[in-house]
Each structure stands twice: as C-alpha cells, then as structure tokens.
C-alpha cells in the first residue's frame, strides 16, 4: 500500500511525499525512523484491484535472504545492536515486501520480543531451521557466532542450489525454443509446402508423409493440444502437492539413471550441512534431526532421518540407523558418522562430509554441463535434419525428374 504523508522535520520544516508500507502503522514507523513527526497520513486510493493483488505474489528471493544473514552476522560481530542492525538492513533493502518485514521484526524486538520470536511470526520467509538455530544462540549467549554459522550455511546452500539450477536453464530454454519454432513451422510453413507437393503429384518419402500428418493434426487440433498440455501440467502440480505425489516424484528423482547419483549426493550434502550447522548452534541432537528432516526437500530422506531420530531416542546410534538404508545413504557416510559418534566429534565429521559431497556435486554438475551442450546439439541436429529432409527431399526428387524429362 502507498500513503501520502505530511510530516515535520526536526528543524520544524514541513515535508510531504509518499511512503510504501504493508499497513498504516508500518508507514508511521518508517517515517519516524527518518526523524519525521507525522502530521497527516492517508492511503492512496484508486489503485486497480489487479495491482493490489500482486502483493500476494511478492516474496523474498533466496539471494536476498542469503545477503540478509551475512550482513546481519557482520553487524552483530561489529557489536551493532539488533535494533540498529535491522534498521540499517531495512533501509538498504530494495524489495519493499522484505523491507516492511524487516521493520516489523525490528518493531517486535523493540516491544520486548527476542529475535527468534520476532522472526517466527514470518515463517514463510524465515524457515524453522534458521529460527531454531537463532533461538539456541540466544539461549547460550552466542548469537553472533550462530549468525556466522547461519550466514556460511546460507551461502553454501544458495551456491549449491544455484549451480544445479543453472546447469539446466540453458538446455531447457533451447528445447522450449525449438518446440515453439517447430510447432509454428508445422502450422504455417509445412501446410503451404505440402499442398504444393500434393498438387505436383508423385510418391512422397515416408518422412514427408509423417511430417504432413503431424502438421495436419496440429493445425486442426492445436487448441486441444495446448489445453491438454496445460491440463496435464495442472494435474501434475496438484498431484505433486499431495503426500503420495510428493513421495512418488521424490522416489523418481532417485531412480532416473542420469540424475540419481547427482540427486543422492545433493541430499547427502544437504543433510550433513544442515545437521552440523544445528549441532554447532547448540541444538540438542533429537531436535536437530527433527529440523534437518523437515528441510531435506525429499520425502525419502525425510523418512530416513526421522527414523534415525526415533532410534536415537531409544538409545541406538545414527550410523546404525543409516546402515539400514545403503541405497540412499552411502556406507562411507554411515561409517564417518559412526566415527564421529565414537570420538564425540560428530559436528566436525559432518563438516568434512558436507565439504566432500559439495565438491562431488560441483564436479558432477560441471561434467553434466559439458555433456549437455553436445547432446543438445545432436538432438537439435536430428530434429532440424528431419524437417529439412522431409521438405527438401521431395522437392529435389521432383526437380530432378523435371530436369531429366
């Protein structure tokens, strides 16, 4: 929401302008932070409904959160107070939604709430993982150390996710572009050529007949095809949101031949990274396992970690629980965790595991990126070759026949 305001400065001058905030109270708080005494404040009316509804789609990007945790850790390490730190970060944040949220957290802290409790009111932005670690830091009096752990963790997690997603953006974009161009050719270009070939007569190659058949089908049923694809996507998205659907797709990620090894290493790196961050933050081991399970991002590994928590509750070790799942948890991980449990160095061992699998993921992503480009070139070459041969071959045959005649 936007508000027109009239305020008085410290020197008594009248200042007018507009301010953007989630509520009237937040707008007043924002103006007061800039040493302005609010005289008049009114919401700007006349904003179209569709413009207001965009607020529901506003979110905080992972990169913005990563920067927030890193800068908050630096400010705390420099002995800047929580209120002043949040004010600085809020003032420099360019995302209006995130800025208002930071100021709301500051307002709650000013009202006497601890940082973890103030952040817990915004669980859609601040995950339970970060909230619990900060809460443990507040209880042990090591909040600045905990924030440093969180900042390092957020950066590693963001870099890992960014590398994996970045490896697939290029091939997916090229494939989508090829499908769009190919569909347009089928609808507008091929019918003109096919009608010319049919009028001339003669036997057409099998590839040309297939191409003409596909073109006629798309030209006649393109709307139905588009609606069918959209409907299929909606069904898949809805099914994925169900418990059974999420489990199905999470299992599928671990069975696809090309990607199963990469997926396994990503989840092992994520487990080790998250679990060791929680342990270093002072979270009890049972609670740490529970939180780690919820942020794994895969139902299969979530179930394995929750099973380990229940076994630890009755006196067993994590390593013995993990040994029962050799397909998902590699023997090396189970053995290293076992060593960490025996030597009381579990957090340090987990850090080594996280670093190892993080490097493995980097290596695999780099190799896949190098392999994807020639594979895409080969696929596109086959597609273009099929289109060209199906169109040019009959034209060449006809022209050759006319030449010899």
Rg (CA), the chain: 29
In this structure, the chain runs to a length of 405
Q: In a 10 Å sphere around its CB, with 0-12 CB exposed, 13-18 middle and 19+ buried, how is residue 166 labelled?
A: exposed
Report the greatest alpha carbon distance in the chain.
99
User: Which of the four pLDDT bands, split at 50, 70 and 90, describes residue 56?
Assistant: very low
pLDDT tens, residue by residue, 237-274: 999 889 889 899 999 988 887 788 888 998 998 899 88
- Round to whole Å and give the CA distance between 175 and 186: 16
**What pLDDT is attached to residue 54?**
47
* Token reading at 74: 């630096």
pLDDT tens, residue by residue, 30-54: 777 777 888 778 776 644 544 444 4
- Round to whole Å and give the CA distance between 384 and 178: 9
Of 130, 138, 56, residue with least CA distance to 278: 130
- Phi and psi torsions of 37, nearest 5°: -95, 110
**What pLDDT is attached to residue 35?**
78
- Round to whole Å and give the CA distance between 111 and 108: 5
Model pTM score: 0.70
The DSSP-derived string for 160-182 is: HHHHHHHHHHHHHHHHHHHHHHH
pLDDT tens, residue by residue, 114-171: 988 999 888 888 888 888 888 888 887 778 888 888 888 888 888 877 877 777 787 7
User: Which of the four pLDDT bands, split at 50, 70 and 90, describes residue 404?
Assistant: very low
Strands 37-43 and 14-20 turn out to be unpaired
Residue 58 has pLDDT above 70, yes or no: no
- Round to whole Å and give the CA distance between 368 and 255: 17
- Phi and psi torsions of 20, nearest 5°: -105, 130
Return the bridge partners of 17, or none.
5
Residue 301 has pLDDT above 90, yes or no: yes
Percent of the chain at pLDDT > 90 equals 17
* Token reading at 220: 């006649």
The better pLDDT of the pair 304, 277 is held by: 304
- Round to whole Å and give the CA distance between 199 and 349: 75
Query: Quick check: helix, strand or coil at residue 360?
Result: helix
pLDDT tens, residue by residue, 392-403: 777 666 666 544
pLDDT tens, residue by residue, 158-197: 887 787 777 778 778 888 888 888 888 788 877 877 777 6
**What pLDDT is attached to residue 405?**
46
Query: What domains, with CATH codes, occur in the chain?
Result: 2-56 (no CATH), 61-156 (1.20.81.30), 172-405 (1.20.81.30)
Return the bridge partners of 37, or none.
8
Q: Which residue bears the tokens 């900060």?
A: 134
Residue 304 has pLDDT above 90, yes or no: yes
The DSSP-derived string for 286-343 is: HHHHHHHHHTSS-HHHHHHHHHHHHHHHTT--HHHHHTT-TTTS-HHHHHHHHHHHHH
* Token reading at 277: 């961050």
Eight-state DSSP code of residue 56:
G
Q: What is the mean pLDDT of the chain?
A: 82
């Amino acid at each position: 929401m936007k508000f027109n305001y009239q305020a008085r400065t410290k020197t008594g001058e009248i200042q007018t302008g507009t301010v953007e905030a989630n509520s009237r109270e937040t707008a007043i708080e924002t103006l007061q932070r800039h040493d302005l005494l609010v005289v008049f404040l009114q919401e700007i009316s006349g904003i179209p409904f569709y413009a207001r509804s965009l607020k529901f789609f506003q979110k905080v990007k992972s990169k913005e959160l990563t920067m927030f945790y890193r800068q908050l850790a630096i400010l705390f390490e420099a002995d800047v107070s929580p209120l002043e730190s949040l004010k600085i970060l809020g003032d420099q944040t360019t995302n209006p939604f995130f800025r208002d949220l930071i100021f709301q957290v500051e307002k709650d802290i000013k009202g006497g709430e601890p940082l973890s409790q103030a952040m817990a009111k915004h669980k859609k932005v601040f995950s339970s993982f970060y909230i619990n670690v900060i809460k443990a830091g507040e209880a042990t009096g090591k909040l600045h150390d905990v924030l440093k752990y969180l900042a390092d963790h957020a950066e590693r997690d963001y870099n890992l996710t960014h590398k994996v997603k970045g490896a697939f953006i290029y091939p997916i974009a090229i494939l989508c572009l090829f499908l769009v161009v190919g569909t347009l050719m089928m609808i507008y270009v091929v019918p003109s050529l096919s009608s010319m070939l049919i009028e001339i007569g003669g036997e057409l190659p099998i590839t040309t007949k297939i191409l003409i058949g596909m073109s006629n089908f798309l030209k006649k049923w393109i709307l139905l095809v588009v609606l069918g694809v959209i409907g299929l996507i909606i069904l898949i998205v809805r099914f994925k949101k169900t418990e059974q659907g999420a489990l199905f797709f999470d299992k599928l990620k671990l069975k696809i031949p090309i990607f199963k090894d990469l997926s396994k290493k990503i989840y092992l790196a994520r487990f080790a990274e998250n679990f060791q961050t929680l342990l270093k933050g002072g979270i009890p081991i049972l609670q740490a396992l529970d939180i780690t399970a919820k942020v794994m991002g895969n139902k299969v590994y979530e179930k394995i970690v929750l099973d380990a928590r229940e076994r630890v509750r009755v006196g067993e070790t994590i390593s013995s629980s993990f040994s029962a799942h050799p397909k998902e948890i590699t023997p090396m991980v189970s053995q290293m965790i076992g060593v960490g449990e025996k030597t009381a160095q579990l957090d340090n061992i987990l850090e080594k595991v996280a670093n190892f699998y993080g490097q493995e993921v980097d290596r695999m992503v780099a190799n896949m990126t190098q392999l994807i480009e020639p594979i895409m070139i080969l696929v596109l070459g086959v597609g273009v070759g099929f289109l060209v041969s199906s169109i040019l071959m009959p034209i060449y045959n006809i022209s050759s026949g006319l030449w010899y005649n």
